[in-house]
Amino acid sequence: MVILLHGGDTASVALAEAQLQVLAGLQRRVDQARGADLVSIRGEVLAISAAAQLAAQQARSSSAMSAAASIQDASERARKTVLGLVDDYYEKKVLDPYLRFSSPEDEAEYRKREAERKAAIDKALAEGTPQGTLRAAQLMEDQLRDAGAHGADQSPDYSPMLQSVEADRKALAAALGPSTTAAVATAPSTDPLDAIAPVTPIVVSEADQAGHGLIVGGKSGEPVRTT
């Protein structure tokens, strides 16, 4: 019987070592045991098995608590970083003097993306969850990269800003695990009119148009007079 403890504390490791020593002793006794001795050994094995299960449960609980603490810590760091960058970028506009645009239309499109990301960041942070913080960090990183493509990378503040949010975003994503990083992706928008089925047009012949007071509804498409 082998007990594997991943990331267990000192007490759990010591307990596992003690259990292994007892099991080794029982193995030697089994080799020499006869009759009633085997019954006694069976009871001892069951007791050790119960203790091992308890140790495993404690180790899993400790591991879960450690993972939760790691997520919380990474989330708090990322949230603090995003809030600081929102203040520097959107309020203080430290990168604006370095922005360059090819045309008024180019700037208008950039400002639209900028405003949309700000609204999305505020919404994500308002959730108060690590997943929301992760999305906010990704959006802030996207905005900085967008700004960098328009000349902001020439600012001495740019690289530290980008590196800080990128590092905290990666740390939070690693703490949450790969199954949650997909939450950062934005679902594509759909046109609500796409859900409406097309209407099959009704073709009216010239003869039908000429027959006032007639509708098509008789056998073989013959007109039926209405009075």
If you average pLDDT over residues 20-31, what whole number do you get? Answer: 70
Q: Quick one: DSSP state of residue 4?
A: -
Q: Quick one: DSSP state of residue 181?
A: G
pLDDT digits (tens, 9 = 90+) for 166-183: 999 999 999 999 866 554
Helix, strand, coil in percent for the chain, rounding step 5 = 70, 5, 25
177 C-beta neighbours (distance < 10 Å), count? 10
pTM: 0.56
Contact 176, 134 (CB under 8 A): yes
Taking the C-alpha atoms of residue 135 and residue 133, their distance in angstroms, rounded to an integer, is 5
pLDDT digits (tens, 9 = 90+) for 46-97: 777 676 667 666 666 656 667 788 899 999 999 999 999 999 999 999 999 9
Beta bridge partners of 216: 223
Q: What is the pLDDT of residue 4?
A: 46
